[in-house]
């Protein structure tokens, strides 16, 4: 099943400079071959269900491997059965109304 996910990974217990941990997650997602869009409060991901959620697990493992004792993650999931939809399609439908 194709899925569009909004992912926000928050490392806890490592101070306030989180960019290195987020960059590690972005590398994991890219290496998984997923279509991603980084935004100020997370990352939008497009792909098939299993690889997307395997990559989210890999993000947790990567952040923990960097010495982070706790990771808090929020995930918003969007699936459709009526049509194929991409990240760009979702943004374009709103921009067309502006």
The structural domains of the chain, with segments of one domain joined by +, span 2-95
**Claim: this prediction has a pTM higher than 0.85:** yes
* Model pLDDT, residue 4: 97
Residue pLDDT, tens place only, 46-73: 999 999 999 999 999 999 999 999 999 9
Residue 81 banded pLDDT, cuts 50, 70, 90? very high
H or E element at residue 25: helix 19-31
* DSSP symbol at 57: H
Q: Any idea which fold 2-95 has?
A: Alpha-Beta Plaits (3.30.70)
- Contacts of 80 by beta carbon, 8 Å cutoff, 6+ apart: 2
- pLDDT per position as a tens digit, 11-36: 999 999 999 999 999 999 999 999 99
């Amino acid at each position: 099943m194709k899925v569009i996910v909004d992912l926000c990974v928050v490392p806890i217990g490592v101070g306030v400079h989180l960019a290195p941990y987020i960059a590690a997650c972005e590398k994991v997602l890219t290496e998984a071959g997923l279509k991603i869009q980084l935004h100020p409060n997370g990352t939008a991901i497009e792909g098939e269900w299993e690889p997307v959620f395997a990559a989210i697990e890999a993000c947790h493992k990567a952040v923990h491997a960097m010495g982070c004792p706790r990771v808090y993650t929020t995930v918003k999931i969007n699936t459709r059965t009526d049509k194929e939809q991409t990240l760009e399609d979702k943004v374009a439908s709103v921009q067309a109304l502006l």
